[in-house]
């Protein structure tokens, strides 16, 4: 690897071509990107945007060196497109808004911690340019009280297409504002939150909805090699609704999010495949 990198960086190849070679190599895996970053400063600069594309805060021991430093975030947060936040201490909760503001180009955000709405209210209600397309979040973080129309109209939700409620909800009344999310096409709810009234309201009122997932985390490793989510049977009363957009999945939660952040086949992709398959089956079984 060292010989190859030295050859490329000292060759007469066009600068743009050398950069593209390293970028393609770095995109093959996060491990490969980390290896390339240690080769030289030139190569590090090539792969830095790829290396820093995903920020994962699961505990302070595994966070990127410097990720909890304001100055480092201000310089490097612009590269982040994906954020997974699992830190729940009060000191961490006060730092989360700084991370969100610094990572202004985020498109995929997961906040899986006991973070209250008031902790990130300044970010959620700000008109600045954070515009995620995917969001996984607890109801208590998403809003103080029920998520209503006034919440859904906030600029931060204008481009949201995929929403996962990462904790149980108290029925349709607690999330009824999602019907006003202008681009929402994919929704995921915990399987224990899927009562009949909630599902019927979601399917009827969310006008652009293409996929509704009822999910649970895998208690056992039921997924096969290379898989992070698996289809499970719908409960009979859910199946009786007769809507092909509803799917039931179990997923290896963190692994599923990481695969999705890299553009892989995650639970959303699997659900889309299932919905398309059902639609084709209905088409074929219809009147000729």
Arithmetic mean of pLDDT, 48-70: 71
CA distances to 19, 84, 127, 159 from 134, in Å: 29, 12, 18, 9
* pLDDT recorded at residue 91: 72
Measured from the Cβ of residue 87, the count of other Cβ atoms closer than 10 Å reads 21
User: Structure pTM?
Assistant: 0.84
Is the pLDDT at 285 greater than 90, yes or no? Answer: no
| Residues shown for the chain | 288
* pLDDT recorded at residue 221: 45
More confident residue, 230 or 180: 180
What's the whole-number average pLDDT of the chain? 83
Strands 246-251 and 229-231: antiparallel
Q: Which residue has the tokens 């079984």?
A: 285
Measured from the Cβ of residue 122, the count of other Cβ atoms closer than 10 Å reads 12
Taking only the tens place, the pLDDT of each residue in 162-181 is 999 998 898 999 999 999 99
Arithmetic mean of pLDDT, 16-39: 59
Q: Outline where 41-176 has alpha helix (H).
A: 41-51, 70-76, 90-102, 117-124, 139-142, 149-152
Measured from the Cβ of residue 111, the count of other Cβ atoms closer than 10 Å reads 24
Cα 195 to Cα 188: distance, rounded to the nearest angstrom: 14
Is the pLDDT at 63 greater than 60, yes or no? Answer: no
Whether the Cβ atoms of residue 148 and residue 176 lie closer than 8 Å to each other: yes
User: Who's near 223: CB < 8 A, 6+ residues apart?
Assistant: 229, 230, 250, 251, 252
């Amino acid at each position: 690897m060292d010989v190859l990198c030295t050859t490329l960086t000292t060759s007469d190849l066009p600068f743009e071509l050398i950069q593209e070679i390293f970028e393609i190599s770095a995109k093959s895996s996060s491990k490969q990107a980390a290896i390339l970053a240690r080769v030289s400063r030139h190569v590090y600069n090539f792969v830095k945007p790829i290396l820093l594309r995903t920020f994962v805060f699961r505990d302070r021991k595994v966070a990127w060196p410097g990720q909890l430093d304001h100055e480092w975030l201000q310089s490097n947060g612009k590269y982040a497109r994906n954020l997974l936040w699992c830190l729940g201490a009060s000191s961490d909760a006060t730092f989360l808004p700084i991370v969100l503001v610094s990572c202004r180009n985020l498109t995929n955000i997961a906040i899986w911690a006991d973070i209250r709405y008031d902790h990130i209210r300044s970010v959620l209600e700000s008109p600045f340019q954070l515009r995620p397309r995917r969001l996984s979040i607890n109801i208590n973080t998403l809003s103080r009280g029920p998520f209503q129309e006034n919440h859904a109209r906030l600029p931060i939700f204008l481009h949201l297409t995929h929403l996962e409620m990462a904790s149980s909800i108290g029925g349709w009344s607690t999330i009824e504002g999602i019907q006003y999310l202008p681009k929402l096409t994919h929704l995921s709810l915990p399987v224990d939150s899927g009562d009949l009234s909630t599902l019927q309201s979601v399917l009827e009122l969310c006008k652009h909805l293409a996929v509704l997932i009822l999910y649970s985390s895998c208690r056992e490793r039921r997924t096969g090699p290379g898989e992070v989510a698996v289809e499970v049977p719908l409960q009979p009363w859910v199946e009786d609704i007769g809507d092909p957009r509803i799917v039931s999945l179990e997923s290896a939660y963190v692994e599923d999010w990481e695969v999705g952040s890299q553009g892989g086949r995650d639970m959303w992709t699997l659900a889309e495949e299932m919905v398309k398959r059902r639609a084709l089956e209905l088409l074929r079984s219809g009147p000729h």
